[in-house]
């Protein structure tokens, strides 16, 4: 399993939210490059980065900052948050971003996103499906988790039959450190075994990561647990094996 240390950027600083609520913003580091260097020293191969300002605004806001971080770090970085146009994708990929993460636009412009998967290749695009359970159905939320959609994860995965990477977050546990939604991830893998699933949300200790690893998923994002110190980078690195 690949472990993706997370950097959520707001006004160029490393922050974390709880359950996607911008009012809960907590700043951890003023200099994200220091965090990237720390991750690099622990031999992480991939980093997950989110432009929170972009996610809220619906357009890429911190593109220049992110581009600079990529150039300086030399790491494999996937980036999400407010990416809505072909120009955004081209811009980020041109600066060395390995994968772009598309969220809200997967709902609002499905045919367009499907065409991008074909144009750029499904190895360059990750679909972010951020959900909350309603009557046991994983309903996807959009626009920085501020708006509900009427689509479930199952609806979207049936439509995006060529997608390779999915980043799935259960918003109800994100930033809580209370544990990931293992049941949901198992369901996704059972229904769509061809997809490389990246789990996000709720990881608070090594036991949580071990359980995710046992599911056989492709990857897991870890954020707040790193910044709060409930998991050490040295321990995480032992599970982060490229495959």
Catalytic residue among 53, 130, 170, 174: 130
In Å, how far from its chain's centre is CA 78? 8
Catalytic residue among 8, 53, 170, 174: 8
How many CB atoms are closer than 10 A to CB 20? 20
Task: Point out which residues pair with 77 in neighbouring strands.
Answer: 47
User: Is residue 8 annotated as part of the catalytic site, yes or no?
Assistant: yes
Helix (H) or strand (E) holding 45: none
What are the tokens at 176? Answer: 């809580």
C-alpha to C-alpha distance for 144 and 167, rounded to whole angstroms = 14
What are the tokens at 158? Answer: 């049936």
C-alpha to C-alpha distance for 195 and 188, rounded to whole angstroms = 9
User: Is residue 170 annotated as part of the catalytic site, yes or no?
Assistant: no
User: Which positions are catalytic?
Assistant: 8, 130
């Amino acid at each position: 399993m690949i472990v993706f240390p997370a950097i959520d950027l707001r006004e160029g600083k490393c922050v974390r939210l709880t359950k996607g609520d911008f009012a809960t913003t907590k700043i951890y580091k003023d200099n994200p490059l220091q965090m990237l260097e720390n991750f690099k020293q622990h031999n992480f191969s991939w980093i997950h980065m989110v432009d929170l300002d972009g996610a809220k605004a619906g357009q890429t806001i911190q593109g220049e900052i992110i581009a600079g971080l990529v150039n300086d770090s030399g790491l494999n970085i996937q980036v999400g948050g407010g990416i809505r146009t072909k120009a955004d994708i081209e811009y980020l990929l041109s600066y060395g971003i390995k994968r772009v993460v598309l969220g809200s636009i997967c709902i609002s412009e499905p045919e367009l996103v499907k065409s991008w998967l074909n144009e750029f290749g499904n190895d360059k695009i990750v679909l972010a499906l951020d959900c909350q359970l309603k009557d046991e159905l994983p309903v996807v939320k959009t626009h920085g988790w501020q708006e509900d959609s009427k689509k479930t994860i199952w609806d979207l995965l049936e439509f995006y039959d060529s997608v390779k990477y999915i980043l799935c977050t259960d918003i109800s546990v994100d930033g809580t450190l209370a544990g990931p939604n293992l049941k949901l991830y198992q369901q996704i893998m059972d229904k769509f075994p061809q997809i490389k699933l990246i789990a996000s949300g709720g990881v608070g200790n090594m036991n949580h990561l071990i359980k995710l690893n046992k599911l056989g998923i492709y990857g897991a994002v870890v954020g707040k647990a790193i910044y709060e110190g409930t998991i050490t980078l040295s321990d995480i690195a032992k599970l982060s094996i490229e495959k």
